[in-house]
Chains A and B, each alone.
Chain A
């Protein structure tokens, strides 16, 4: 595996040079905390316009980079805790029908904890994904040092996380722990197990694989693809689980590998539909023309393999149906602004500028996002993305800006055209933040998937506040006023 990884890494580096991506990255110093170094997955910056601006807005430097890693970590951890609490509350007191989709009743019982779902759906899909008993540990890797810097996950029984396990965390992030964090991550609580102290948490990342002798921390330096990271650390985590949690030996152990930039983008997606788009790109990277995965599950749950064979639009719609009953959430943070100031800055920027700023000014509705055509590094067929044919206006854009071959459906690559921007259906107007009720980043909002400016205006006018209370009623009311057929 090491030999193959070395070959793949060399091939990637050569590919980056051939495309000239290294030269472009050299000029993006404003978003590079470590000038001169090329991060993992550098290609994503050619296709994620808003994230270039977000990182520039944050002002990337080595200290901000470490802080951002901590904030992602801590938000991740508290999301799981909040999910467990929400599930437990809802099990005791099931919500009335009109509050089924209330934002207080939605939680990150998702895998990874990056998109909101209904507690009952989260429980069922977790079982569908992983089986009845599963331990899932997320392995996060620094894009510049290629070192594992935290491993955190949870053990699920019957589809619900029953215990959180912080297996390891580098001192780079544990330096930021506050009193509240220390209570959870140093020692043992009913739903938390960490390590006795900072040093032990860091030291666990130095545990070596019995056969290869490679430290957990160094696995990504030896193994190329996130799938291989998972395979490289799995045995050691299995051993640690045997030592620390022998009562969980009956459960399948899943490892998910992801880098800091990718997890920042995924975990901080403004909307659920946008997150599902990123999941599609992360696991089905041929959609972006990448030759490796941006995210991995080891082993890959079979249902994901099936879902990923669908076109992008179908995938985003199915995921929105499955987890949110066909609604779309504006994500909420579990931590307060004081704890995660940089993540709050990200949310504010996205909310004010939209998900594809500066190419699109405004917030793209979910059903438009589902039909986004990304710039791909390899030629690709339109069928990969769209479930139904594009509108006349969209087709014109695809031809004039994407060089679409109308007869074959083929779109040429960025390498041939230099197109760095996503293509969207121009017949649908982006939404404006001022159209929505004020957003509380700790509460989030929920809206129908087929939201348009007109529908949004009617719903707000009729008294809908974005909280999810009676969302179905307001959605149907708006459809009726817009002359749509309502069941």
Chain B
């Protein structure tokens, strides 16, 4: 059963973030909304039977799933307040954010250290749009979130 974009997926990641004090500490003092765009999730490889089963399960918003599959990307909205992840859900059309991260899932999968994130960002494999100062201060937090996102994502 794929565990991505389901209600459980969003909740698991949010809870996992907040339950680890070192995660919260890594973004201590941070209050921001980040639009996190993940491209090329291999949703298109799901068999029609599996897709039907997922949608009938009712744990996933059908419109979000179909849009993600059609555009081959998901737009996630994360809101951190004082380092705690208070909101994590699909982004709404035209929603405001303070910073944006965008990259292919395979690139996020490769990120293991802050150094990897810096190289991927400077090489434009991950595109960061936001204030440079904030990016550099939040490298630890963004890396931790990337690792969490990938570790909690099961696609097949």
Question: Which chain A residue lies CB-closest to B133?
Answer: A20
Say whether A23 contacts B139, CB under 8 Å: yes
Shortest A426–chain B CB gap in Å is 14
Say whether A415 contacts B118, CB under 8 Å: no
Say whether A23 contacts B136, CB under 8 Å: yes
Say whether B114 contacts A27, CB under 8 Å: yes
* B119 contact set on A, CB distance < 8 A: 28, 52
Task: Write out, one digit per residue, whether chain A residues 20-33 have a CB within 8 A of any chain B CB (1) or not (0).
Answer: 11011001111000
**Given A27-B114, A27-B118, A27-B139, A359:B123 Cβ within 8 A:** yes
B112 interface residue (CB < 8 Å to A) = no
Say whether A421 contacts B124, CB under 8 Å: yes
Task: Write out, one digit per residue, whether chain B residues 35-76 have a CB within 8 A of any chain A CB (1) or not (0).
Answer: 000000000000000000000000000000000000000000
Report which of B99, B114, B122, B136 forms a contact with A52, defined as CB distance below 8 A. Answer: B122
Give Cα distance in the complex from A232 to B70, angstroms: 64
Say whether A21 contacts B136, CB under 8 Å: yes
Report which of A24, A359, A417, A419 forms a contact with B136, defined as CB distance below 8 A. Answer: A24
A19 interface residue (CB < 8 Å to B) = yes
* B139 contact set on A, CB distance < 8 A: 23, 27
Give Cα distance in the complex from A23 to B136, angstroms: 6
Say whether B133 contacts A18, CB under 8 Å: yes
Within 8 A of A (CB), among B100-137: 114-115, 117-119, 121-125, 128-137
A418 interface residue (CB < 8 Å to B) = yes
Shortest B108–chain A CB gap in Å is 17
Say whether A417 contacts B123, CB under 8 Å: no
Say whether B118 contacts A28, CB under 8 Å: yes
Range of interface residues on chain A?
A: 20 to 34
**Given A23-B139, A24-B136, A420:B115 Cβ within 8 A:** no
Give Cα distance in the complex from A19 to B122, angstroms: 15
Give Cα distance in the complex from A414 to B123, angstroms: 14
Report which of A19, A28, A420 forms a contact with B124, defined as CB distance below 8 A. Answer: A420
**Given A27-B118, A28-B118, A20:B123 Cβ within 8 A:** no
Give Cα distance in the complex from A30 to B131, angstroms: 25
**Given A49-B123, A358-B123, A19:B132 Cβ within 8 A:** yes
* B132 contact set on A, CB distance < 8 A: 19-21, 414-416, 418
* A18 contact set on B, CB distance < 8 A: 133
Within 8 A of B (CB), among A408-452: 414-421
Say whether A24 contacts B131, CB under 8 Å: no
Shortest B133–chain A CB gap in Å is 5
A46 interface residue (CB < 8 Å to B) = yes
Say whether A418 contacts B128, CB under 8 Å: yes
Give Cα distance in the complex from A189 to B130, angstroms: 59
Shortest A249–chain B CB gap in Å is 50
Shortest A255–chain B CB gap in Å is 34
Within 8 A of B (CB), among A1-49: 18-21, 23-24, 27-30, 46, 49
Say whether B115 contacts A19, CB under 8 Å: no
Give Cα distance in the complex from A18 to B119, angstroms: 21
Shortest A397–chain B CB gap in Å is 13
Say whether A29 contacts B128, CB under 8 Å: no
Question: Which chain B residue lies CB-closest to A358?
Answer: B123
Question: Which chain B residue lies CB-closest to A420?
Answer: B122
